[in-house]
Amino acid sequence: MRDVRFAVLTFPGSNCDRDCAWVLEHVVGVRTELLWHADVDLRGFDAAVLPGGFSYGDYLRAGAIAATSPALRAVRAFAAGGGLVVGICNGFQILLESGLLPGAMLPNAGGTFRCTWVEVRVERADTPFTNQYRSGQVLRMPIAHGEGRYHADPVTLRRLEAERRVLFRYVHNPNGSAHDIAGILNEGGNVLGLMPHPERCAEAILGSEDGRLLFASMVHWILTPREVARCTF
Amino acid sequence: MRRVRVVIFLKPGVLDAQGQAVAEGLRTLGFAVEEVRVGKAIELTVPDDAQVPEMCSRFLANPLIEEWEIHGA
């Protein structure tokens, strides 16, 4: 079996980068490197993770300043070449602010930071990120965010639904997110953003292992011959 | 040098949770208030204000959720 290589990007204020690297290295068992955002070179990597945290203190808007980092130029090129990219929580916010995913995040409707366990439904299992789950499977995952209310104009929302790009949906909406959206895909199906933290629920000792299969799905997709595993949209 | 002030608000119709909390605080203090919207102001000192509109649309504000006014230009 060939080496699968994951990159985890660290921005100033990222705080889930080491958790992601731990899970990838020691639970999923793939080669993983932490890359400082100012000198990101993704050549030779199979996948890139934009971790959670509070990049640049969430100043201006969550993810807005990190989106100007040279790392995002590298991520954009990497994604354009078909590389797998997953942005978790603040990483999702960065992907939205950089335009790699459509829409924007607003402060939670309730006005409070939400740090809690939620149930999240897997909407489809034929993607690089969910092929080890069952379609309709409900996962137990933690969220921890102040700005997680997904917002997009009605045309964009209709398009996301029509193209089945809503990959994860909250069973009980914790933040006022449009269409109960917890995670979406880009047009190519190789860039995912999600608010729940799969890296915080990848080992039984943490109360849930449901997040592990997201990373395992990515590894499975990377190792499967492309004509079989290619995303169908 | 020019000093320019940019005032940014969530678009009308976009729920402003912070504004709602502030309105609740005002009501608790006994003030009559119908609605509160909370925005932010950014003051820029620039050699030339021609680029300020682009600064707003590309970075200072998110056109998907916010609107802005440029003062002093």
pLDDT in tens, A147-163: 999 999 999 999 999 99
Mean predicted confidence (pLDDT) in A171-186? 98
Mean predicted confidence (pLDDT) in A105-122? 97
Hey, how many other C-beta atoms are within 10 angstroms of the C-beta on A7? 27
What span, in angstroms and rounded, lies between the C-alpha atoms of A182 and A149? 9
Q: Is B21 on the interface with A (CB under 8 A)?
A: yes
Q: Which positions of chain B have pLDDT values less than 70?
A: 73
Considering CB atoms only, which of B10, B17, B62 is closest to A109? Answer: B17
User: What pTM did the predictor assign?
Assistant: 0.94
Does A226 score more than 90 pLDDT?
Answer: no
Strands A5-10 and B66-71, by their bridges, are unpaired
Mean predicted confidence (pLDDT) in A209-220? 98
Which residues from B are below 8 Å from A68, CB to CB?
A: 59
pLDDT value of residue A2: 74
pLDDT value of residue A24: 98
Hey, how many other C-beta atoms are within 10 angstroms of the C-beta on A15? 15
| 3-state percent helix, strand, coil for chain A, nearest multiple of 5 | 35, 25, 40
pLDDT value of residue A225: 79
Question: What letters, b where the CB count within 10 A reaches 16 and e where it falls short, cover A61-99?
Answer: bbbbbbbebebbebbeebbeeebbbbbbbbbbbbbbbbe
Q: Which residues pair with A84 in a beta bridge?
A: A47
Domains of chain A, residue spans? 5-223
pLDDT value of residue A228: 45
Does A233 score more than 50 pLDDT?
Answer: no
Overall size of chain B counted in residues: 73
- Percentage of chain A beyond pLDDT 70 is 96
The token pair that represents A97 in the structure block: 């602010």
Does A106 score more than 80 pLDDT?
Answer: yes
- Percentage of chain A beyond pLDDT 90 is 94
Segment B46-61, tens digit of pLDDT: 999 999 999 999 999 9
Does A232 score more than 70 pLDDT?
Answer: no
Q: Which CATH number fits domain A5-223: 3.40.50.880, 3.40.50.360, 3.20.20.80, 1.10.645.10?
A: 3.40.50.880
pLDDT value of residue B73: 59
Which residue of A lies nearest to B42 if distances are taken between CA atoms? A60
Which residues from A are below 8 Å from B60, CB to CB?
A: 60
**Which ipTM was obtained for this model?**
0.89
Contact yes or no for A107 and B20 at CB 8 A: no
Contact yes or no for B17 and A60 at CB 8 A: no
Catalytic annotation, residues of A: 89, 197, 199
CA distance to partner chain A, nearest, from residue B53 (Å): 17
**What is the number of alpha carbons within 13 Å of residue A150 lying toward its C-beta?**
30
Segment A13-32, tens digit of pLDDT: 999 999 999 999 999 999 99
| A230 — pLDDT class (breaks 50, 70, 90) | very low
What span, in angstroms and rounded, lies between the C-alpha atoms of A164 and B30? 49
Whether the CB-CB separation of B6 and B41 falls below 8 Å is answered with yes
What integer best gives the mean pLDDT of chain A? 95
